[in-house]
Amino acid sequence: MVNTVQQWNPDDWESFALSLLHARHGNLNVQKVPATHHGDLGIDFYCTFDSVIYQCFAVEEPVDIGVRAERQKNKITTDLKKIVDGAAKISKLFLGIPIKKWILLVPAHDSKDVNLHCAKKTKDMRALKLSHLDIDFEVCVNDQGSFPGGALTAAMSALANVSLSVKGPTQQELDAWQAGSPNLLANATKKLSKLTSVEVLDAVANCVELFLKGNALVDALRFSAPDLHEKVVAAISTRSRRLGFIGPQGGPAANNIMNTELDTLINAIKDAAPTLSHTNAEDIALGTLSDWIMRCPLDFPPP
């Protein structure tokens, strides 16, 4: 299966995280610490009612699990030092109430090494016996899976831009798919041979890769942004029905048809889901065209 992760910039992740924290603690119980003036004290958001601090962190994706874990561990270490150095100011923020938890809030937590690091830092912080920290103070890591589905859906709907990052299929995945789909490959080979200035075998290989990547993005939307997923699928379905009924646009040359249908589908997806990034819309459109070529309904006149 193609690996899919949400690609976040720091501002979008903070906005998304704030929506999640509103769902967890209540809108009036979460406060933000701006970083633009004298730093953020190792705090992005805090809740005095539950005595908890949140620091948001989104690794630039895509990276493998080990790199992601190492960067998260480094972030924990760096920002906990701010909690120690800023003790007096932080105590004022919490009105003298000891802090129970410091939580690193990340899009994806998938390594036990981060848990072990949290446990070590918890022990280290408790050993300092700082007055602004509870005797049972704990360092934790949370990700999107720490929140209910309804909160995730609401937070995603509020985003101005949704961008998913997908690692392409491995050669092993490509080979396995091709071995199990001889009829689809034969369809693609027959149709793509009508394109000019294209090596057919390379075109078929690209078609399969684009198909798998596009499918992975659509599946990721189903999980991360169900509302967007529904709109994108509906737009694709509408274009597919039109194509099956009246045929392709932009002919007669096969290359012209491909370019016209691609641009039309990208525009249809963006019209239906304007918050979806253009890159994602294009990748989904390319995957859809590849699907249409392999399964029908898209065909080209002979050159």
Is pTM beyond 0.85? Reply is no
- The per-residue pLDDT for 197 is 63
67/97 Cα distance (integer angstroms): 36
pLDDT, mean of residues 111-123: 98
* pLDDT value at 6 more than 70: no
Asked whether residue 7 carries a pLDDT value surpassing 60, the answer given is yes
Q: Domain map of the chain by residue range?
A: 4-150, 169-295
pLDDT recorded at residue 152: 84
CA 295 to chain CA centroid, Å, is 29
DSSP letter at 168?
Answer: P
Burial grade of 83 (CB within 10 A; 0-12, 13-18, 19 or more): buried
Q: What is the pLDDT of residue 214?
A: 93
pLDDT for the residue numbered 218: 92
Query: What's the pLDDT at 21?
Result: 97
Which residues is 52 bridged to in the sheet?
Answer: 47, 101
CB atoms within 10 A of CB 78: 12
Q: What is the pLDDT of residues 126-184, one digit of tens each?
A: 999 999 999 999 999 999 989 998 888 788 777 777 888 777 788 888 989 889 988 88
Q: Phi and psi at residue 259, in whole multiples of 5°?
A: -65, -40
Mean pLDDT for the stretch of residues 264-287: 94
Q: How confident is the model at residue 5 (pLDDT cuts 50, 70, 90)?
A: low
Contact 216, 2 (CB under 8 A): yes
Helical H segments across 94-225, by residue range: 112-127, 149-157, 171-179, 182-192, 200-224
Buried b (16+ CB within 10 A) or exposed e, 154-166: ebbeebeebbbbb
- pLDDT value for 117: 99
The pLDDT, as a whole number, for residue 255 is 78
CA distance 43 to 21: 14
User: What pLDDT score was predicted for residue 3?
Assistant: 47
pLDDT score at 39: 67
Residue 159: per-residue pLDDT: 77
The identity of residue 71, as a single letter, is: R
- pLDDT digit string, tens, across residues 201-257: 888 888 999 999 999 899 888 877 778 899 999 999 999 998 878 777 777 777 788
- Please state, in angstroms and rounded to a whole number, the distance separating the CA atoms of residues 55 and 12: 14
Fold type of domain 4-150: Trna Endonuclease; Chain: A, domain 1 (3.40.1350)
Structure-token match 């985003």, residue found? 159
Mean pLDDT of 99-114: 96
Mean pLDDT of 115-127: 98
Mean pLDDT of 5-18: 83
Check pLDDT > 80 for residue 276.
yes
Would you state the pLDDT for residue 300?
65
pLDDT digits (tens, 9 = 90+) for 28-77: 999 999 877 666 799 999 999 999 999 999 998 778 899 999 999 999 99
